[in-house]
Amino acid sequence: MKHYFIVNPAAGEGKAQEIVAKAIEGKQDCKILATTGAGSAKALIEEALKEDGEKRFYACGGDGTVNEVASALIGKENVSFTVFPCGSGNDFVKAFGGKEKFENIEALMSAPAKPIDAMEISNGVNTYYCVNVCNFGFDAIVGKTANEVKAKGGKDPYGAGVKKAIFHGMNNKATVKADGEVLNPKGKFLLCTVANGKYVGGKFLCAPKSVPDDGFMEVCLFDKIGLFKFLSILTPYTNGEHLDGGKKFRKITHYKRAKVIEISAPKEIDLCLDGEMIVGKDVTIKTLEGALNFATVE
């Protein structure tokens, strides 16, 4: 088997490539492919796929790198992928036991690969893929702002994102259907997560019941609520207690396991796919069952 390490050089405070090089030193059939910017991983992978033999690709960075590697491998044969976490965001691997299980290169190189699901997102113009969480509403405004602050070298990007979302993201407009069932007939909501993984934003257990290989997405929509109500549910939501949190959650949450999600908004909204931002007005999300072969240490 040939092993390709797709490295985001900016990850790990700029030390990702050095970390990977040290980890694979002396090992056979290993090659480091460094990305040069957003979207460059696809070209690197497409070139590597031209080579003969079984291949395994390693996403070496944060969740954005995981998304790029996984997206490039959808539907490809005789390949598997896994994660060697080097970035600040490692939400995807938390559904498989956490970052620590992916830090042993030797174990990863020999670990068996099993099929997992992915999500296909279409905004009517382009098709995108997602392996962890697609979220929109309050969360997406947080993510978009955090990305902008990071790009400018600002401090506390997520804190800045939350502050902006409190003023501009509490009343979002779109109708969401899950397998044909309308979750919010009034067309208003606070936030919505469509999950294949479990965590988003570094610490929020948004989909505690999600299983990445069961053929379903976990959809959770929160109705529009006031600021004080929002602050009162923030801690239990962070801890993943919102699906079994009693009457106050049942009144404001809509949860469903589904294979097709349809979003219809009066104007374009932001959607966050594994931390990467897109926009859309009429958006469809579909489960791609068993679309990827993912290696994880048992």
Sketch the domain layout of the chain as residue ranges.
2-111, 127-290
Query: 10-residue block means of pLDDT along the chain (298 residues)?
Result: 93 86 92 89 94 95 92 94 86 92 93 97 96 94 85 80 88 97 96 95 91 96 94 92 86 96 97 93 97 94
> Cα torsion at 101, 102, 107, 109 (round to 10°)?
150
CB 42 within 8 A of CB 65: no
What is the third-level CATH fold of 127-290? Tumour Suppressor Smad4 (2.60.200)
Q: How far apart are CA 275 and CA 192, in angstroms?
A: 15
For residue 230, give the H/E element and its range. helix 227-238
- Here the tokens at position 30 are 């290993």
Q: Which distant-in-sequence residues (6+ apart) come within 8 Å of 191 by Cβ?
A: 135, 136, 137, 138, 139, 169, 172, 221, 222
Planar angle of CA 149, 155, 161, nearest 5 degrees = 50
Q: What pLDDT, on the 0 to 100 scale, is given for residue 246?
A: 77
- Architecture per CATH, domain 2-111, reads as 3-Layer(aba) Sandwich (3.40)
Among residues 4, 117, 110, the alpha carbon closest in space to that of 50 is found at 4
Q: What pLDDT, on the 0 to 100 scale, is given for residue 160?
A: 85
Q: What pLDDT, on the 0 to 100 scale, is given for residue 240?
A: 94
| Bridge-based pairing state of the strands 2-7 and 55-60 | parallel
Q: What pLDDT, on the 0 to 100 scale, is given for residue 192?
A: 97
Planar angle of CA 187, 171, 277, nearest 5 degrees = 90
Q: What pLDDT, on the 0 to 100 scale, is given for residue 60?
A: 94
